[in-house]
Amino acid sequence: MIEGNNGDVVVAPLKFDQEECRKALCRMVIIDELPIRFVEKEGFNQFMKVAKPCFQIPSRTTVTHDYFDLFDEEKHKLMAVFKETRQRVSLTTDTWTSIQRINYMIITAHWIDKIGLCIKELSSFVQSLVIECTITELSKQLTKWGTNLMGGSHLLIRRMAHIVNLIAQDGTKEANVSIERVRQALRYIRQSPARWNFTYMILSRVIEYEGAIVEYVDRDIGLALYLKFVDKNSAGTLLSNDWEGVKRIIIFLEMFFDLTLKISGSQYVTSDLHFLEICQVGVYLNQFISNEDQVFAKIAKNMKEKFDKYCGDAEKMNKMVFIPGVLDPRHKYSTLHLALKKMFGKKGAAIENGV
C-alpha cells in the first residue's frame, strides 16, 4: 500500500489474509457466473501459483460452503438496510426450474436509496411447488425481515385479467363449435395465417362481414372441401345457427375485453378500478341470467358460477381491493357502499364496516 506523509511516499507491506481472499474468490465466481469447479481448473491454479503462491486454493466443496456463508452475510446486511431506512420496497417474484425439475421462487426487491439510485437485490431463493406454496413462502420471508404487517392476511390479490380469461373460456364452451367453424372459414379465406390475441377481435371483425362470408361459403366449393377433407380438426360447415351463437358470445366477450384493457393499463393507476370493475361484471351477469333467450341465459349462468368461485364470497376477498376505491376522491365511501350492496346484498354492509 502506498501512503503519502509530508510529501514522502512510503511503501507499506500488504498483509495477506486467507479468509478475505476466499471471500473475494467466492464473489468472483458468483459475479462472473462461473461454475464452482472453476477453482479446480488447471489454468486458474497455475495463475494463482504465480500471482499469489501463499494462497491456498479451496476445493469446490469449500467454495460451496463459502457461498452459503456469504449469502447469510449479505442477507443480514439487506435486512439491516430495510430496518434502518424503513422505506417502501417493491417485491417481484419469478419462478425457476432446475435440471432436476425442482421449482424455485426468486424474490427480488427494488427500492430507491437516499441519493436517488434504483437498487435491485435478489432477496431470497426458495423452493416452491404451487401458487399456494409460493404465497406461503413469500409471507415467511417477509416475516423474517420484520415487514409482514397484519400477519400477511392481505398479501394475495388475485390477478383479475387471469380470472376474466378463465370466466370467458368457461362461458364460451357453449359456442366452441361455432367459434371454431368461423376460425376455419376465416383461415381458408385469408389463405395466410394470422395471429389474433383475442377471440373477441376475430369475432367482432368477422360479424361485420357476415353477409359476404355467407355468400362466399355458398358459392365456393373449395371451402366445403377444405372444411371436410383438408383440415384434420374440421368442425364442419359454417351454418346459420353458428352466426347466432357468435353474436351471443360477442356480447360477453366485449364486456370482458373492455375490462381487461382497463385493469391492464400501464400508463395510469388501476388499483381504484379493480373492485368497481368486478362489481360491474357481477351486475351484468345477473342481468343476463334473466334474459328471455334461454341459450344466452345459460351462457350467463355458467359464467356467473365461475365468477362466484373467485369473486362471489366477500369474506374471502382481499380487503385491500376495496380501499383504493375509497381513497379515490371521485368515489369515496358512497360508491363502495352502493357497489357492495349491488354485488353482495345484505352481506355487503358487514364488509363495509370491516373496511
Q: What is the pLDDT of residues 255-314, one digit of tens each?
A: 888 887 777 766 767 777 777 888 888 888 888 888 888 888 888 888 888 888 877 776
Residue 217 lies inside a defined structural domain of this protein:
yes
Residues 321 and 303: beta-carbon distance below 8 Å: no
Residue 288 lies inside a defined structural domain of this protein:
yes
| 319 against 56, higher pLDDT | 56
| 145 against 317, higher pLDDT | 317
- Which secondary-structure segment (H or E) carries 17? none
pLDDT band at 7 (very low <50, low <70, confident <90, very high): low
CA dihedral of residues 42, 44, 49, 54 (deg, nearest 10):
-120
Measured from the Cβ of residue 195, the count of other Cβ atoms closer than 10 Å reads 4
Residue 43 lies inside a defined structural domain of this protein:
yes
Same domain, 245 and 105: no
Residue 257 lies inside a defined structural domain of this protein:
yes
**CA atoms of 2 and 16, how far apart (whole Å):** 16
pLDDT above 70: residue 352? no
Same domain, 82 and 104: no
- How do residues 89-126 score in pLDDT, each as one tens digit? 777 777 777 777 777 777 777 777 765 555 555 555 55
Same domain, 95 and 171: no
Residue 184 lies inside a defined structural domain of this protein:
yes
Q: Determine the pLDDT at residue 242.
A: 79
For the chain, the domain total comes to: 3
Residue 220 lies inside a defined structural domain of this protein:
yes
Give residues with Cβ within 8 angstroms of 74, minimum separation 6: none
- Residue finishing a domain among 86, 104, 130: 86
Between 60-64, 152-156, 162-166, the lowest mean confidence (pLDDT) is in 152-156
Measured from the Cβ of residue 324, the count of other Cβ atoms closer than 10 Å reads 17
User: For the whole model, what pTM was predicted?
Assistant: 0.51
- Residue finishing a domain among 45, 62, 86: 86
pLDDT above 50: residue 199? yes
Residue 337 lies inside a defined structural domain of this protein:
no
Same domain, 278 and 237: yes
- Residue finishing a domain among 148, 171, 197: 148
**CA atoms of 336 and 326, how far apart (whole Å):** 7
Average of per-residue pLDDT across 152-180: 69
pLDDT above 60: residue 197? no
Q: Determine the pLDDT at residue 350.
A: 66
Q: Determine the pLDDT at residue 115.
A: 59
Average of per-residue pLDDT across 176-194: 71
pLDDT above 50: residue 338? yes
Task: Domain of residue 274: give its range.
Answer: 160-312
Same domain, 82 and 100: no
Of 24, 26, 21, the C-alpha closest to 63 is: 26
**CA atoms of 272 and 322, how far apart (whole Å):** 8
pLDDT, the chain, mean:
74
Same domain, 109 and 223: no
Same domain, 82 and 130: no
pLDDT above 60: residue 169? yes
| 65 against 220, higher pLDDT | 65
Q: Determine the pLDDT at residue 187.
A: 74
Same domain, 130 and 164: no
pLDDT band at 155 (very low <50, low <70, confident <90, very high): very low
pLDDT band at 10 (very low <50, low <70, confident <90, very high): low
Between 193-197, 271-275, 340-344, the lowest mean confidence (pLDDT) is in 193-197
Same domain, 170 and 298: yes
pLDDT band at 1 (very low <50, low <70, confident <90, very high): very low
- How do residues 33-81 score in pLDDT, each as one tens digit? 888 889 889 999 899 888 888 888 888 889 888 888 888 888 788 777 7
pLDDT band at 334 (very low <50, low <70, confident <90, very high): confident
Q: Determine the pLDDT at residue 121.
A: 54
| 36 against 16, higher pLDDT | 36
Same domain, 36 and 60: yes
Measured from the Cβ of residue 285, the count of other Cβ atoms closer than 10 Å reads 23
Residue 130 lies inside a defined structural domain of this protein:
yes
pLDDT above 60: residue 151? no
Of 350, 336, 346, 347, the C-alpha closest to 279 is: 336
Same domain, 278 and 204: yes
Q: Determine the pLDDT at residue 273.
A: 76
The three three-digit cell numbers of residue 110, written as one number: 427494488
| 233 against 290, higher pLDDT | 290
Same domain, 98 and 129: yes
